[in-house]
Structure 1
Amino acid sequence: MTTTDFTSIPVLDLAKASSNKDAFLAELQHALIHIGFFYVKGHGITLEFLDNLTKQTISYFDLPLDDKLKTDKIYSPTFLGYSIQGNEITKDKKDNREQFDFANELPATWTEGRHIHERLTGPNLWPDEDVLPRFRQSILSFHSQAQELAETLTRFVAEALGLEPSALLDRYVLPNQQHRAKLIKYPAVDQLDPQDGTQGVGPHRDTASLLTLLYQANDLPGLQVQNHAGAWVDAPAIPNTFVVNIGTGLEYLVQNVAIATTHRVLNPPPGRGPRYSIPFFLGARLDKKLAPIEIPQRILDQRPQTVVTDSGHQFSQVYQNDPGLYAVLNRISSHRDVGAKFYAQLAKDHGIITTETKTGY
């Protein structure tokens, strides 16, 4: 296997960081530079907790549609809340998935004249407690544990790239920043209309973030990672692990030495039922133009020269000058009904065609 043509995703054991830190950092460095994805085990989040989280996720999506629509993100400019099957767009094509976006609880503080990205911050939309008991508590507990794990990994990422452990978190993450996560349900192919295709979510890179942690909540295929030669590599569920990948924010901030690898999800095969997954996104700060950090030359010398990607590079130049605007534009592009309601002029100014009509009803 060459370093530009990986055929599998490595599994890193976080416990090894205590017993043999140098070896762990070497494995992590290779994954960051040459793959952009890795599994992590030994992460400290109990299987009992994750099993309960899976049950809560399934219970949410099993609610009657009317109950889920009460938490629809159309009610909030934050883009937090529920999205009905087929309502999200990737590369101008609908994604065959339902999802519920959530974040750490923060109040809405944006007012006219403030930077537009501040409008993305605000409270979650929750189902009533009597409809789904303990759901909010479980979801926020997951968010807290996932953020702690993501921050731990980010410190190791910094060390693996020759930096001080706090170099990324101190410069690029704010203390009271809102970080997003999702519950996702991908229907099996036989649960879709034939014209829907099999795009669970199209080829993309995770935008404006440092790291993504993904819990694959049941043992169904779907997640695929594009290697640097352009081939698609399966990333199957491995019990009690998280899949970790690099966001475009981190890639930019470390001078493209860590790769935000393109990935996609295919809907599960017929007869297998739905696939559930739960990603958490550790976001980079959005409040000002960000300068890439100085990376040791010995690390920069390993930077990949050619990376094939089926993902677009939408608004990539905007990120370098205004990360907050970049984040808003990407949200509008993916959720065009919310864009039409709250950001119509901004969408028009940037050539995004919005619609107030949802698909999938």
Structure 2
Amino acid sequence: MSLLPSLDIGPFLAGTAGRAAFLDALRHACHGPGFFYLTGHGVPVAQTDAVLEVSRRFFQLPAAAKLEIENIHSPHFRGYTRLGQEITRGSADLREQIDISDERPPRTLGPDDPPYLRLDGPNQWPRPVPELRGAVLGYMARLGGLSRLLVRAFAESLGLPADHFDRSFAHEPRSHLKLIRYLAPAGEHPAAHDQGVGAHKDGGFVTFVLQDDVRSRTGDGRRPASPGLQVADGAGGWLDATPRPGSFIVNVGEMFELATRGYYRATVHRVVSPPPGHERLSVAFFFGPRLSATLEPVPLPAELAREIGDPPPPDPDNPIFAQHGENTLKSWLRSHPEVARRYYADVEPPKGHP
């Protein structure tokens, strides 16, 4: 694997002659690298630019203003995370970010309700950038609609009816967005620590990543060559998933890998920090079924099932659950230990929790 494929979803959305070719390319991309560039999606450049612009305005605020919405105030893991406070595989990520999910009221839970239902609730919004709320919620709605169509394409690409996954996604599908700023190591982090995000697989169903180019923090416009998002190439190396105008990077999550018995692959990836004096913005959108959904193994056609190799041994440090809420809560408890200690001290960590 030397390049990530680029897929044009336009013919599928329009129902034109290239529809079958897109589904074939989608199957090869998800069975192969598990990552691809997506074009022809119809999301206006003005909308993606607006999300990046309000993100930039937020991250330029003084620290005190950003900390007004720090996620330690939210039992739903929403709000601002300061640099180095999100953990991947036991190490600190050099990013600051805002986590935003579907705007829903918090649930009133009984003693027998599963703890993952605590994840539903309101977001925290920054008062100094009131435009951020409208820009982000509009963007999430747009990508949510695109995700539903892509989920149907996934089903057809596997030889299944287009509505195969509809039951899991019809009621309260879960959307989550991260507005992220990657920075170079500073302060207590050594210069060699360039973990923007540590090597991992996404925990959900499908992810869309909007990337900005590296920018000088002094405003002089210099953009040095620098790796950012990287995808494991299967041979011990990494592929650079460089930004392409008008494209999203799309990848399969570990729940979808589990549902397809490994036919579609959730590939390990990471983000390398930008060089000193520079920053990189990214917007990651995660789409999955309702929290209470359990994804059963899909009935693959015989010719596809024959292509499934032997399953890898389970990762003792990363159990994967078919129940979406359980798998989602697992990820949050690991990545945000301070929030977990404050609001989930009564929840027993899943087996394999470090």
TM-score (norm 2): 0.89
Residue 3 of structure 2 corresponds to which residue in structure 1?
Answer: 8
The 3-state SS of whatever aligns with 1:224 is strand
Q: Give the conservation status (yes or no) of the 8 Å contact 1:214–1:279.
A: yes
Return the letter of the residue paired with 1:276. L
Return the letter of the residue paired with 1:335. H
The 3-state SS of whatever aligns with 1:194 is coil
Q: 275, 278, 286: which one pairs with 2:283?
A: 278
Distance 1:304 1:10, change over 3 A: farther
- Displacement of 1:303 in angstroms is 2.8
Number of equivalent positions: 339
- Asked if 1:295 is matched to 2:292, the reply is no
- Displacement of 1:268 in angstroms is 1.0
Q: Give the conservation status (yes or no) of the 8 Å contact 1:121–1:178.
A: no
Which piece of structure 1 moves more, 36-45 or 224-233? 224-233
Stretches of 4+ moved more than 6 A in 1?
none
- Displacement of 1:87 in angstroms is 0.2
Q: What are the equivalent positions in structure 2 for 1:15-164 lying under 5 Å apart?
A: 15-17=10-12, 18-113=16-111, 114-128=113-127, 131-164=128-161
The 3-state SS of whatever aligns with 1:346 is coil
Return the letter of the residue paired with 1:339. A
Residue 234 of structure 1 corresponds to which residue in structure 2?
Answer: 240
- Displacement of 1:316 in angstroms is 1.9
Q: Give the conservation status (yes or no) of the 8 Å contact 1:10–1:39.
A: yes
The 3-state SS of whatever aligns with 2:346 is helix
- Displacement of 1:334 in angstroms is 0.4
Instruction: Give distance in 2, aligned partners of 1:313 and 1:172.
Output: 28
Which piece of structure 1 moves more, 170-179 or 243-252? 170-179
Return the letter of the residue paired with 1:23. A
- Displacement of 1:94 in angstroms is 0.5
| Percentage of identical aligned residues | 34
- Indicate the structure with greater helix content: 1
The 3-state SS of whatever aligns with 1:137 is helix
Over aligned residue pairs, what C-alpha RMSD do you find?
2.3
Which piece of structure 1 moves more, 329-338 or 111-120? 111-120
Return the letter of the residue paired with 1:216. Q
- Displacement of 1:315 in angstroms is 4.3
The 3-state SS of whatever aligns with 1:51 is helix
Q: Deviations over 1:60-81 (max 9, x none)?
A: 1111111111111111111111
- Asked if 1:266 is matched to 2:272, the reply is yes
Residue 218 of structure 1 corresponds to which residue in structure 2?
Answer: 213
The 3-state SS of whatever aligns with 1:152 is helix
Instruction: Give distance in 1, aligned partners of 2:74 and 2:63.
Output: 18
- Displacement of 1:174 in angstroms is 4.3
Q: Deviations over 1:74-112 (max 9, x none)?
A: 111111111000001111111110010101211111424
Which piece of structure 1 moves more, 283-292 or 20-29? 283-292
Q: Give the conservation status (yes or no) of the 8 Å contact 1:79–1:331.
A: yes
- Displacement of 1:45 in angstroms is 0.8
Instruction: Give distance in 2, aligned partners of 1:16 and 1:265.
Output: 32
Distance 1:306 1:70, change over 3 A: same
Distance 1:76 1:133, change over 3 A: closer
Instruction: Give distance in 1, aligned partners of 2:352 and 2:259.
Output: 27
Return the letter of the residue paired with 2:330. L
- Displacement of 1:178 in angstroms is 3.1
The 3-state SS of whatever aligns with 1:122 is coil
The 3-state SS of whatever aligns with 1:162 is coil
Instruction: Give distance in 1, aligned partners of 2:105 and 2:93.
Output: 30
The 3-state SS of whatever aligns with 1:106 is coil
Q: What 5-or-longer segments of structure 2 have no aligned partner?
A: 215-225
The 3-state SS of whatever aligns with 1:180 is strand
Residue 220 of structure 2 corresponds to which residue in structure 1?
Answer: none
Instruction: Give distance in 1, aligned partners of 2:264 and 2:141.
Output: 25
Q: Deviations over 1:7-43 (max 9, x none)?
A: 1111111123234111111111100101100000111
- Asked if 1:206 is matched to 2:202, the reply is yes
Instruction: Give distance in 2, aligned partners of 1:198 and 1:236.
Output: 17
Distance 1:351 1:21, change over 3 A: closer
Instruction: Give distance in 2, aligned partners of 1:291 and 1:302.
Output: 19
Which piece of structure 1 moves more, 285-294 or 41-50? 285-294
Q: What 5-or-longer segments of structure 1 have no aligned partner?
A: 1-5, 354-361
Return the letter of the residue paired with 1:215. L
- Displacement of 1:237 in angstroms is 0.5
TM-score (norm 1): 0.87
- Displacement of 1:327 in angstroms is 1.9
Instruction: Give distance in 2, aligned partners of 1:333 and 1:275.
Output: 25
